[in-house]
Chains A and B, each alone.
Chain A
């Protein structure tokens, strides 16, 4: 699967607006991830070729950032905070509840490919702790409770 013409064009534009291929590498990775969910080897190579940088170089950058995913993730990515405020406001219970509900641990994806659960530290949502970022737009949700997980995984489950 090659990148869509729109993504390819967006990568080219990024190179122009960021002042060069090197400066646009991170933007390119974000564009690929937004379009494809994660950055596969093939897409990484494609983006590198579009920018005219080496695969090794762009991979170094991609792997530096933990929120650029280099392996497949589920349709909805849940970034659940395990920072201090969230912990003090009962984050552990939410964590256990969602893990149990989905049957996966941190860094794992449900077998049906719907959810990926990842732990992050403070996401700047201490005022609504326990908090999480959900979905492709990284929507901030909270305060969460162990009894009602709809904010995290919707009502379907």
Chain B
């Protein structure tokens, strides 16, 4: 520990601290532009100047280590001042230079109201400029579909350059030229290729990089802000949903160190327009082969009529990727009352929750990746299946302390890895210790075996999962204080469904069996849009968008999207989180659980709760850990031994490829979004040059 005196206050800080960190620890506020705690230090904006006693010039506190401060002549601790007249004058000087070439166009700038430069100029700026010469002009750049540029506003802090190369792992941005000619650009103005590029808008301290889809849409002070959880993947990133009136205007990240740090993927941020388009805003009933608009009671009557003589085992329910726990719980309850054990989701057939929770969650936790020293990725493209989690893997890899190997897709993952092969035989070889990476895993202190959708989506997923669990056990990934068996789910609903046992009951059919020909008479689809629904059953679709499911439906009951309801989601780590309601469902659409409750009445199988509170009470009585929000219920690793022992039948020969073809179009909201469609076109190379 090193002793310092900051503004007359004595503090002790660890020797690796910078002066800025030390000053903050002492409670002083230091203005900054180029410094960002998750990026490398650049020290180029000079806004963070402080005075160090005995040093003739002001010092950039972000780039000065406390161990570099010299003690006083009698060995007194170094003295730092963050408020002296010298500091104020120095910072004012820096601000004056920063503003010389800045256009000061705040009234037409989207950053206005949440701009660091604007805020700091209030503290350190002069009211008039002494610079009578012409300001320099910089041409705007094309960076792709999501990031709009206004390069006159850039203050050359290079945060964006560092973010792209350090966090995203795509070093596509650069600072060209020198002195007055410097400009920020991608090489030859090509579109950025990162799934995290939307974060550039947050990282840029001024209005040089702003959100293209959100351009000139609203001012920050007009927006209502709701804390929520993302459902685009199973990571459960913390988000803030900004609304104006009934409309969702934008989605921003919130800080959650355990999950997403402060990043979100582009899909999370930019599906906003998909929440507005193609919405189902009233019930529909199919008559003579055509869907026609109907009232709620007509729709319920049609379902009741159809269900009248149908036996329980001829009814089934499939929950989609975006379903909240409450909705699935109500549907499960209804199915039980109708005498059906045919329950399934689109993505979880490989799992058996009766073995225990450890068999289906990401046991080491996302933050735990930073303790791992070896990582085996099986059948997964984390960059597409969970872009934010991939950034965490990259973060750990950059420290040089984690070795990575992949079985499955040979994709560009933004870090280097040993590619072992695509096939199941590679996995068997590794399990038999015939691959050299087996020794790396065995020698590792905290190894992780990560299993993705390339394994779990397969029909032989259960057997493969057992094989992976056996491998994890054999290499010693499961021991006291560390469980390295990590399932990366691809859908937000998966773990929640497994937690409440939304799986085929005694004698129940799996999803694949249910959609088979002649298997069912009536099928309830809770937003199941990725699976092909049966052609011969009567399909009741509860969902939000006119997507695949709705097209096949015989009755459509319009539900609420994740921004329009309060719902519990359990992320891939098993972390229970609550998504908040930011807006209202459109037209006659209702919250899904309420629809199911009302339907149960019409079917004479009334569910015993008529408020969300009552439903949650019933839910948490059955599954108590869902009460513990933001926590992960400890999972007993014994489940993995059981899973490994059990095996699971024949394993096919097909390669372990991730089923996610297009990152931008994985769910009905994303498919309704024009922005996502555009991103997908750019990513697939259909638009090669600037679209502007």
Q: Are B177 and A63 in contact (CB under 8 A)?
A: yes
A residues in contact with B186, CB < 8 Å: 56
State which residues 26-84 of A face B: CB under 8 Å.
41, 53-57, 59-60, 63-66
Q: Are A55 and B187 in contact (CB under 8 A)?
A: yes
Partner of B176, one of A41, A53, A59, A66: A59
Q: Are A66 and B171 in contact (CB under 8 A)?
A: no
Known pairs A41-B188, A54-B165, A54-B187; A59 contacts B178 (CB<8 A): no
Task: Report the nearest A residue to B183, measured CB to CB.
Answer: A63
Partner of A64, one of B161, B165, B178, B188: B178
Task: Report the nearest A residue to B176, measured CB to CB.
Answer: A63
Q: Are A56 and B172 in contact (CB under 8 A)?
A: yes
Q: Are A57 and B171 in contact (CB under 8 A)?
A: yes
Q: Say yes or no: is B175 at the interface (Cβ < 8 Å to chain A).
A: yes
Task: Report the nearest B residue to A41, measured CB to CB.
Answer: B188
> B399 → chain A, closest Cβ, in Å?
18
Q: Are B178 and A56 in contact (CB under 8 A)?
A: no
Task: Report the nearest B residue to A53, measured CB to CB.
Answer: B171
Partner of B174, one of A41, A60, A66: A60
A residues in contact with B174, CB < 8 Å: 54, 56-57, 59-60
B residues in contact with A64, CB < 8 Å: 176-178
Complex Cα spacing A56 to B176, Å: 8
A residues in contact with B187, CB < 8 Å: 54-56, 59
Task: Report the nearest B residue to A48, measured CB to CB.
Answer: B187
> B158 → chain A, closest Cβ, in Å?
10
> A26 → chain B, closest Cβ, in Å?
14
Complex Cα spacing A54 to B175, Å: 13
A residues in contact with B172, CB < 8 Å: 54, 56
A residues in contact with B177, CB < 8 Å: 63-64
Q: Are B175 and A60 in contact (CB under 8 A)?
A: yes
Q: Say yes or no: is B465 at the interface (Cβ < 8 Å to chain A).
A: no
**Total inter-chain residue pairs, C-beta < 8 Å:** 34
Task: Report the nearest A residue to B158, measured CB to CB.
Answer: A60
> B476 → chain A, closest Cβ, in Å?
35
Give the interface centre of A55, A56, A63 by most chain B CB atoms within 10 Å.
Answer: A56
A residues in contact with B178, CB < 8 Å: 63-66
- We find that the number of chain A residues with CB closer than 8 angstroms to chain B is 12
Q: Say yes or no: is B173 at the interface (Cβ < 8 Å to chain A).
A: yes
B residues in contact with A56, CB < 8 Å: 161, 171-174, 186-187
A residues in contact with B165, CB < 8 Å: 54, 57
Complex Cα spacing A56 to B175, Å: 8
Give the interface centre of A53, A64, A65 by most chain B CB atoms within 10 Å.
Answer: A64
B residues in contact with A53, CB < 8 Å: 171
State which residues 368-417 of B face A: CB under 8 Å.
none
Q: Is the interface of A mostly helix, strand, loop or mixed?
A: helix
Complex Cα spacing A53 to B172, Å: 10
A residues in contact with B161, CB < 8 Å: 56, 60
Complex Cα spacing A71 to B206, Å: 32
Complex Cα spacing A55 to B165, Å: 12
Complex Cα spacing A57 to B161, Å: 9
State which residues 287-314 of B face A: CB under 8 Å.
none
B residues in contact with A55, CB < 8 Å: 187-188
Complex Cα spacing A57 to B174, Å: 6
Complex Cα spacing A96 to B188, Å: 36
Give the interface centre of A53, A59, A65 by most chain B CB atoms within 10 Å.
Answer: A59
> B379 → chain A, closest Cβ, in Å?
28
B residues in contact with A65, CB < 8 Å: 178
> A15 → chain B, closest Cβ, in Å?
17
> A59 → chain B, closest Cβ, in Å?
6
B residues in contact with A54, CB < 8 Å: 165, 171-172, 174, 187
> B209 → chain A, closest Cβ, in Å?
15
Task: Report the nearest A residue to B175, measured CB to CB.
Answer: A60
Complex Cα spacing A56 to B174, Å: 5
> A106 → chain B, closest Cβ, in Å?
16
Give the interface centre of A59, A60, A63, A66 by most chain B CB atoms within 10 Å.
Answer: A60
State which residues 159-218 of B face A: CB under 8 Å.
161, 165, 171-178, 186-188
A residues in contact with B176, CB < 8 Å: 59-60, 63-64
Give the interface centre of B161, B165, B173, B175 by most chain A CB atoms within 10 Å.
Answer: B175
Complex Cα spacing A60 to B162, Å: 13
Complex Cα spacing A44 to B165, Å: 19
> B189 → chain A, closest Cβ, in Å?
11
Complex Cα spacing A97 to B186, Å: 41
> B190 → chain A, closest Cβ, in Å?
9
State which residues 76-94 of A face B: CB under 8 Å.
none
A residues in contact with B173, CB < 8 Å: 56
Complex Cα spacing A152 to B107, Å: 54
> A39 → chain B, closest Cβ, in Å?
13
> B101 → chain A, closest Cβ, in Å?
18
State which residues 240-278 of B face A: CB under 8 Å.
none
Complex Cα spacing A66 to B176, Å: 11
- As a 0/1 sequence over residues 98 to 117 of chain A, the CB contacts with chain B under 8 angstroms (1 = contact) are 00000000000000000000
Task: Report the nearest B residue to A70, measured CB to CB.
Answer: B176
A residues in contact with B171, CB < 8 Å: 53-54, 56-57
Give the interface centre of A53, A55, A65, A66 by most chain B CB atoms within 10 Å.
Answer: A55
Task: Report the nearest B residue to A57, measured CB to CB.
Answer: B171
> A63 → chain B, closest Cβ, in Å?
4
Task: Report the nearest B residue to A66, measured CB to CB.
Answer: B178
Complex Cα spacing A55 to B177, Å: 14
B residues in contact with A63, CB < 8 Å: 176-178
A residues in contact with B175, CB < 8 Å: 60
Complex Cα spacing A56 to B173, Å: 6
A-B interface, 5 closest residue pairs, ranked by CB to CB distance from nearest: A56-B174, A54-B171, A60-B174, A63-B176, A55-B187
- Residues of B whose CB lies within 8 Å of any CB of A are 161, 165, 171-178, 186-188
Q: A55-B188, A57-B171, A60-B161 are in contact. List 6 more A-B contacts (CB 8 A).
A: A54-B165, A54-B171, A56-B186, A56-B187, A57-B165, A65-B178
- Residues of A whose CB lies within 8 Å of any CB of B are 41, 53-57, 59-60, 63-66
A-B contact list, 16 entries, CB within 8 Å: A41-B188, A53-B171, A54-B171, A54-B187, A55-B187, A55-B188, A56-B173, A56-B187, A57-B165, A57-B171, A59-B176, A63-B176, A63-B178, A64-B178, A65-B178, A66-B178
